[in-house]
Structure 1
Amino acid sequence: MVIPNDNPWSGLEAGKTDTRRVDATARWNWFWAVMPRTDVALVLQLSDLPNPVPDLPKLRNLEIRFQTLPGGPILYIRLKDSAQLELFDTLCRDVMAAGEFAGTEAEALERAIGRAFRWHYLLRGGKLEALAEEAQKGLIGEIEVLKLLIASLGAKPALAAWTGPSGAPKDFELKAGCIEVKARRGASKPFVKIANEHQLADVSDRRLWLGVLAVDKVQPPHGRTLTEYVDEVTELLERTEPSAIMDWDLHLADAGYDVLHDYSPWRWIVSPPEFHSVAEGFPRITAPVPLGVSGVTYALALSACTPFRTDWNAVRSNLVEEDQP
C-alpha cells in the first residue's frame, strides 16, 4: 500500500512495524502505526491487559485485537482495506477522542472499545440519511424518559430497561413495570397514535404506564437539535458513569442515530412527560384481537385518559421499590 502524504501515517516506514506517537500532550499512549504487511493502524499502549479480556467488535475491513509485545500489551485497530483510509482516519480520531475523556487507563480502554462498537453498528447498518422528523421526535421523547430513569435507578439499569430501539413492544421494560412513550406535536389535536395492539397490552405481573410528551419544532435560536439532546446524556454519563457509555452508544445505533449526520436543520423543544396508569378501564385495544386481524393502529384521545393521570413521583416510587436488588 502506498501511504499518501496527507494523513497521520505518512513518513512511517512500510514493511515493518513503525510507530509515531499521536500527540505528546495526550493523556494516554496512542500511536499511529504501520504494520508488517504495510497496513496502517491505531495503537493504544497499555500497562496491563484487562482481566477478563473484553469482547471486541468484528468488522469486515478492520482487525481489532490485543497483542503482547516486548514493550508491553497493546490494543490495535488495523485497516485491511486501503480504499477506506480517509474513513479510517476519522474512526481513529473518534476512538481516541472518546478515550481521552477517561481518568484511568482501564477507563480509556473501555471508552475506546465502546466507541469502536459504535462504529461497528454504524458501519454494519448505519443509516444513509438522517432520521426523519417523526423518528427524531420519538427518540427525543424516549431520551427524556430515560433521563428520569437514570436519575432514579442509575445509568446501567436505566439503559438495560430501554428496549424501544431494539423493537420490543414497550419502550422501557423493568421488573416492576413497563413504560410506553409517545411524542406528539403540542398544537396538534389531543390524540396519540398507538401503532399496534401490543403497545398498551398488559404484561404479566407488571404495571404499565403511558408517558406523553409534546415535542415541537422551533426556529433558531430556540430549542435544541437531536445531537444536543444526545450530547447532554453523553456528557452526563462521562461525568457520572462512564462504564455505561458503550450501552448508550449501542442503543443509539439501534435507534438509527448516526453521530456523523447533520441534525442542525431541526431544532426542538420538549415538555415534561405526563404519565398515565394503564389499568383496568383504560381506553385501549389489546391482544388478542379477532382471528385474522393484526397490526391494529388507532388514535387514543388524551381526554379519555385523564382519569388515569398520575405523576412521575408515583411511577418512580413503584419502579424504584420493586427494581432495587
Structure 2
Amino acid sequence: MTWKRKKWGATMSADDPWTGLEPPASADIINAKRVDGKHPWNFFWARSVDRKCLLILRCLTASAPKGKLPKLKGIEVAQSEPDTGGSTTVSLKLTDNQHRDIFYRLCLDIVQATSVAKSEIEAGETFLARTWRWHHLLRGGSDRRLSAEEQKGLIGELFVLERHLIPVFGPADATAAWVGPTGSPKDFECGRVSIEAKARRGAARPYVAISSEFQLDAGGCDALFLYVVELDTAPEDASAAFTITDVARRIAERIAADAPSVTERFEGQLVAAGFSWDDDYSSFRWMSGPHRFLHVGENFPCITPAAFASGVERVRYDLSLVDCEPFRVDDEIVRGRMESVRQ
C-alpha cells in the first residue's frame, strides 16, 4: 500500500478536514494528511478511491488494538493486513454521507482521547474503546440498559478486576488486562495467564453457559482459570444490596485516586461492555455469594476447536459445575500465577 501524505495546512477547513484531499488514482494508494503535527500518534485524514472519507491510525502491528471491531451504521471499521515494514492501519470509513456529522464528531472524539495516550498500544486501545462507546450510544431501542443477565456477566468481570487483578497488578495493568468487552474470547489476559468470568444464580442449576469454543481453550496460555461467582436478586430490605453502578463507581473512584490517567481506559471498557453512567439501574439490586476458581487444564470438561473437525463454529454449551469440582483451586494459587506474570 502506497501512502501519499500532505502536510497539515493553515488553509484547511476547520469544519471539514477532508477539504482538498482528492481520491487516489487506485485502490492500492491512500491519499492522506496528518491530523495534527503535534499529536503524538500517526493519525491521518484520508480519502479512498471511491471518494469516501476516512480517519486512519497507522501503527506497528504489535500495537494495533486486539479484539472484535464494532459495527456502526454508515461507518465501516477495519484493520489492514500487516505490511512488509511491520505496520498496519486501523480505519474508520464513512460509507453513508447522511451520517457525516456523526462521523466527524466520532473522529474528533478519538483524536482528542488518544492525544493523552502514553504509548502506541494505549492509543490503539483507546481508538477501539471509543469506537465501541459510539457503537453503544448509537444503537437503537428505547431502553438501552443492560439486561439482568448482561448485568450479572459484567458484575462478574468487575469483581475479578476489583478483587483479584488490581491488588496484584495495580489499576493500569489490571485494566489493560480486561479485554473481554472488546471481543476477545477470554475476559482477562494477564500475560499468558487468562481468566474467564461467569456469574450465576445461587439457587439455579449448577451450570454455567459457555458461549463459544474459544472461551475455555487453554491453547496459548500458561494457565487458564474459570471464575464463577453467585449473584442473586436482592430482597427489598437487604442492607448489603448493590447495583451494577455501585460496583462500577467504586472501581472508578479507586482508579481515579491511584492512577487517574487510567480512568479513560476503564470507562471506555465499561462503555464497550454496554454500560453507561446515564442509565438508571436502581431497580436492579444484587447480592453476591461465594465464588470459586477452576483451573482449566488437562481433562477439564470443555469443548475447544481441537475437539471437532474444521467447519464447526459458534459452539454453545452448558458446563456442569459438579463435574468441574475436582479442578477447583484456592484463590492463593491464582494469585501466585498472576504474581509470576508481574515479575
TM surpasses 0.5: yes
2:242 maps to 1:198? no
The separation in 2 between residues aligned to 1:206 and 1:118, in whole angstroms, is 27
Change (3 A) 1:166 1:121: closer
Contact 1:122 1:258 in 2 (8 A): no
Within a 5 Å distance, the mapping from 1:188-227 to structure 2 comes to 188-222=204-238, 223-227=241-245
Name which of 302, 307, 324 aligns with 2:326: 307
Within a 5 Å distance, the mapping from 1:166-205 to structure 2 comes to 166-205=182-221
Hey, what does 2:28 align to over in structure 1? none
Contact 1:176 1:318 in 2 (8 A): no
- 3-state SS in 2 of match to 1:130: coil
Gaps of 5+ in 2: 1-14, 16-37, 45-100, 102-115, 117-125
Change (3 A) 1:287 1:122: closer
Change (3 A) 1:118 1:221: farther
- 3-state SS in 2 of match to 1:125: helix
Contact 2:229 2:290 in 1 (8 A): yes
- Kindly provide the amino acid, as one letter, of the partner of residue 202 in structure 1: A
- 3-state SS in 2 of match to 1:316: helix
Deviation track 1:96-129 (CA, whole Å, cap 9, x = no partner) reads xxxxxxxxxx9xxxxxxxx9x9887544532551
- Kindly provide the amino acid, as one letter, of the partner of residue 320 in structure 1: E
Quick one: percent identity of the two aligned structures? 37
Hey, what does 1:254 align to over in structure 2? 272
The separation in 2 between residues aligned to 1:118 and 1:210, in whole angstroms, is 25
Name which of 179, 191, 194 aligns with 1:163: 179
Within a 5 Å distance, the mapping from 1:33-182 to structure 2 comes to 122-126=133-137, 128=141, 129-147=144-162, 148-182=164-198
Name which of 296, 303, 314 aligns with 1:278: 296
Offset at 1:239? 1.7
The separation in 2 between residues aligned to 1:247 and 1:175, in whole angstroms, is 18
Hey, what does 2:311 align to over in structure 1? 292
Q: How many residues align?
A: 224
- 3-state SS in 2 of match to 1:181: strand
Change (3 A) 1:118 1:263: farther
Offset at 1:53? 5.3
Give the root-mean-square deviation of aligned CA atoms.
3.2
Offset at 1:321? 1.4
Greater Rg, structure 1 or structure 2?
Answer: 1
Question: Once structures 1 and 2 are overlaid, which stretch shifts more, 144-153 or 314-323?
Answer: 314-323
After the TM superposition, which segments of 4 or more aligned residues of structure 1 sit over 3 Å from their partners? 52-55, 117-125
**TM-score with structure 1 length normalisation?**
0.62
The separation in 2 between residues aligned to 1:201 and 1:257, in whole angstroms, is 27
- Kindly provide the amino acid, as one letter, of the partner of residue 228 in structure 2: V
Contact 2:192 2:220 in 1 (8 A): no
Deviation track 1:3-29 (CA, whole Å, cap 9, x = no partner) reads xxxxxxxxxxxxxxxxxxxxxxxxxxx
- 3-state SS in 1 of match to 2:305: coil
The separation in 1 between residues aligned to 2:247 and 2:187, in whole angstroms, is 18
Offset at 1:220? 3.1
- 3-state SS in 2 of match to 1:238: helix
The separation in 2 between residues aligned to 1:168 and 1:230, in whole angstroms, is 21
Gaps of 5+ in 1: 1-36, 38-51, 59-83, 85-105, 107-114
Contact 1:195 1:297 in 2 (8 A): yes
The separation in 1 between residues aligned to 2:131 and 2:192, in whole angstroms, is 33
Contact 1:217 1:267 in 2 (8 A): yes
Contact 1:145 1:273 in 2 (8 A): no
The separation in 1 between residues aligned to 2:221 and 2:247, in whole angstroms, is 33
The separation in 1 between residues aligned to 2:210 and 2:129, in whole angstroms, is 30
